[in-house]
Amino acid sequence: MQLEKSTVWQEGFLERLEQRKPWDSWEVYKMSYTIAKKQLIDSFTGLQSLKYLPCVKPLGHQLEVAERVIGEMNGKAILADEVGLGKTIEAGLILKEYLIRGLVKKALILVPASLANQWVEELHTKFHIPALLYKKNYELDYVDVVVMSMDTAKRSPHKEKVLAQDYDLIIVDEAHKLKNHQTISYKFVENLKKKFCLLLTATPIQNDIFELFYLVTLLKQGHLGNYEEFSSIFSTKKRNAEQEEYLKELVGQVMVRNRRQDTGVEWTKRKVQAIPVEFTSSEKETYRILSKLKEVSPVFADSFTTLTLQREMCSSQDAVFVTLSKLLEECTSPQEKEHVNAIMRQLVQQSTHSKADKAVELITQANDKVILFTEYRATQLYLSDVLFSKGISNVIFNGRLSKNSREWIKHLFQQKAQVLIATESGAEGINLQFCHHVINYDLPWNPMKLEQRIGRVHRLGQAHDVHIYNLAVQDTIDDHILGVLEGKIETFEKVVGELDDILTTR
Amino acid sequence: MQPQEINEYLHHFFRNSNCEILTQHPHYMNVQLTIEMDKKIMNRPFYWRYIETVGETPNPAKLMLITDIEQLRDGIKGEVLHIGSPRLHQLFRVTREMGSFVKMHEQVSSDEVLTPWLGVNVKVSYRSHQTKELLYSLGINLMTGAVFQDFQETLCTLDLVNEPPEHVFHLPFIIKPQRAFERLDHVINQLIEKEDHQWVDEAKKRWRKDQAVLDYFYEGLDEKPNSYEIEKQAIAERFMPRITIDIINGGLFYLR
Residues of A with CB below 8 A from B12's CB? 27, 31
Q: Does B214 touch chain A (CB under 8 A)?
A: yes
Quick one: pLDDT at residue B111? Answer: 83
- In the predicted model, is pLDDT for residue A235 greater than 80? no
Quick one: pLDDT at residue B121? Answer: 97
Cβ neighbour number for residue B57 with a 10 Å cutoff: 5
Over range A146-150, report the average pLDDT. Answer: 96
Over range A164-191, report the average pLDDT. Answer: 93
Over range A249-260, report the average pLDDT. Answer: 88
Quick one: pLDDT at residue A504? Answer: 65
CA atoms within 13 A on the CB side of B221: 13
Kindly report, residue by residue over A391-450, the tens digit of the pLDDT: 999 999 887 777 788 888 889 999 999 999 998 766 666 788 899 999 999 998 888 888
Q: Tell me the shortest Cα–Cα distance from A122 to chain B, in angstroms.
A: 14
For CA atoms A406, A409, A415, A420, the dihedral sign is: negative
Separation of alpha carbons B14 and B17, rounded Å: 5
Q: Tell me the shortest Cα–Cα distance from A281 to chain B, in angstroms.
A: 59
**B1 Cβ contact partners less than 8 Å away, ≥ 6 residues apart:** A38, B9, B83
- Percentage with pLDDT > 90 across chain A: 57
What is chain B's percent helix, strand, coil content, to nearest 5? 40, 25, 30
Query: What chain B residue is nearest to A163 in terms of C-alpha separation?
Result: B230
Q: Tell me the shortest Cα–Cα distance from A441 to chain B, in angstroms.
A: 45
Q: Tell me the shortest Cα–Cα distance from B112 to chain A, in angstroms.
A: 23
Lowest mean pLDDT among A302-306, A488-492, B95-99: A488-492
User: DSSP code of A467?
Assistant: E
Nearest Cα residue to A273 out of A488, A438, A27: A438
Separation of alpha carbons A113 and A103, rounded Å: 28
- In the predicted model, is pLDDT for residue B165 greater than 90? no
Over range B217-243, report the average pLDDT. Answer: 90
Of A331 and A437, the structure prediction assigns the larger pLDDT to A437
Mean pLDDT of chain A: 89
Quick one: pLDDT at residue A236? Answer: 56
Report how far apart, in Å, the C-alpha atoms of A361 and of each of A93, A305, A367, B251 are: 45, 31, 10, 82
Phi, psi of A53, deg, nearest 5: -125, 65
Of B85 and B100, the structure prediction assigns the larger pLDDT to B100
Strand partners, B47: none
Strand partners, B160: B106
Query: What chain A residue is nearest to B217 in terms of C-alpha separation?
Result: A222
Residues of B with CB below 8 A from A38's CB? 1
Cross-chain CB nearest to A128 (options B85, B230, B239):
B85
Nearest Cα residue to B14 out of A287, A424, A497, A27: A27
Cross-chain CB nearest to B227 (options A13, A190, A223):
A190
Query: What chain B residue is nearest to A43 in terms of C-alpha separation?
Result: B132
Separation of alpha carbons A1 and A4, rounded Å: 10
Q: Which B residues in the span 57-76 are in contact with A, Cβ-Cβ below 8 Å?
A: none
Burial of A282 per CB tally in 10 Å (0-12, 13-18, 19+): exposed
Quick one: pLDDT at residue A260? Answer: 80
Q: Tell me the shortest Cα–Cα distance from A163 to chain B, in angstroms.
A: 11
Quick one: pLDDT at residue A506? Answer: 37
Separation of alpha carbons A437 and A70, rounded Å: 38
Separation of alpha carbons A147 and A138, rounded Å: 12
- In the predicted model, is pLDDT for residue A505 greater than 50? no
Q: Tell me the shortest Cα–Cα distance from B89 to chain A, in angstroms.
A: 10
Q: How would residue B120 be classed by pLDDT, with cut points 50, 70 and 90?
A: very high
Residues of B with CB below 8 A from A103's CB? 127, 129-131
Over range A2-15, report the average pLDDT. Answer: 92
Over range B233-242, report the average pLDDT. Answer: 95
Cross-chain CB nearest to A28 (options B16, B200, B248):
B16
Query: What chain B residue is nearest to A51 in terms of C-alpha separation?
Result: B83
Decide: pTM greater than 0.90: no
Kindly report, residue by residue over B147-158, the tens digit of the pLDDT: 999 999 999 999
- In the predicted model, is pLDDT for residue B236 greater than 70? yes
Asked if B9's CB is within 8 angstroms of A31's CB, the reply is yes
Of B68 and B62, the structure prediction assigns the larger pLDDT to B62
Q: Are A355 and A314 in contact (CB under 8 A)?
A: yes
Asked if B121's CB is within 8 angstroms of A24's CB, the reply is no
Lowest mean pLDDT among A384-388, A463-467, B18-22: A463-467
Cross-chain CB nearest to A43 (options B132, B137, B216):
B132
Phi, psi of B76, deg, nearest 5: -90, 125
Over range A275-303, report the average pLDDT. Answer: 90
Over range A216-245, report the average pLDDT. Answer: 78
Separation of alpha carbons A336 and A345, rounded Å: 14
Separation of alpha carbons A403 and B183, rounded Å: 62
Report how far apart, in Å, the C-alpha atoms of B203 and of each of A6, A114, A334, B87, B197 are: 25, 39, 76, 35, 10
Residues of A with CB below 8 A from B244's CB? 3-5
Residues of A with CB below 8 A from B95's CB? 28, 31-32, 35
Q: How would residue A356 be classed by pLDDT, with cut points 50, 70 and 90?
A: very high
Quick one: pLDDT at residue A412? Answer: 92
User: DSSP code of B144?
Assistant: T
- Length of chain A equals 506
Query: What chain B residue is nearest to A125 in terms of C-alpha separation?
Result: B85
Q: How would residue A483 be classed by pLDDT, with cut points 50, 70 and 90?
A: confident
Separation of alpha carbons A491 and A500, rounded Å: 14
User: A with B: how many residue pairs have Cβ under 8 Å apart?
Assistant: 192
- In the predicted model, is pLDDT for residue A11 greater than 90? yes
- In the predicted model, is pLDDT for residue A232 greater than 80? no
Residues of B with CB below 8 A from A70's CB? 130
- In the predicted model, is pLDDT for residue B15 greater than 90? yes
Phi, psi of B142, deg, nearest 5: -80, 5
Kindly report, residue by residue over A362-375, the tens digit of the pLDDT: 999 999 999 999 99
Nearest Cα residue to A451 out of A84, A75, A44: A84
**A179 Cβ contact partners less than 8 Å away, ≥ 6 residues apart:** A206, A207, A211, A214, A215
Over range A238-254, report the average pLDDT. Answer: 79
Choose, out of A28, A96, A125, A144, the residue to mutate when testing the contact with B (most B CBs < 10 Å): A28
Separation of alpha carbons A144 and A410, rounded Å: 33
- In the predicted model, is pLDDT for residue A224 greater than 70? yes
Lowest mean pLDDT among A225-239, A482-496, B101-115, B157-171: A225-239
CA atoms within 13 A on the CB side of A262: 14
For residue B243, how far is the Cα from the chain centroid? 17
In the three-class reduction of DSSP (H, G, I as helix; E, B as strand; rest coil), residue A73 is classed as coil
State the virtual CA torsion across A183, A185, A189, A191 in degrees, nearest 10: 60
Q: Label residues B193-224 b or e (16+ Cβ within 10 Å = b).
A: eeeeeebbebbeebbeebbebbeebbeeeeee
Q: What angle do CA B130, B133, B139 make, to 5 degrees?
A: 160
Q: What angle do CA A483, A485, A486 make, to 5 degrees?
A: 65
**A368 Cβ contact partners less than 8 Å away, ≥ 6 residues apart:** A418, A435, A436, A437
Of A265 and B201, the structure prediction assigns the larger pLDDT to B201
What is chain A's percent helix, strand, coil content, to nearest 5? 50, 15, 35
In the three-class reduction of DSSP (H, G, I as helix; E, B as strand; rest coil), residue B120 is classed as strand
Query: What's the alpha-carbon Rg for chain A, to the nearest Å?
Result: 27
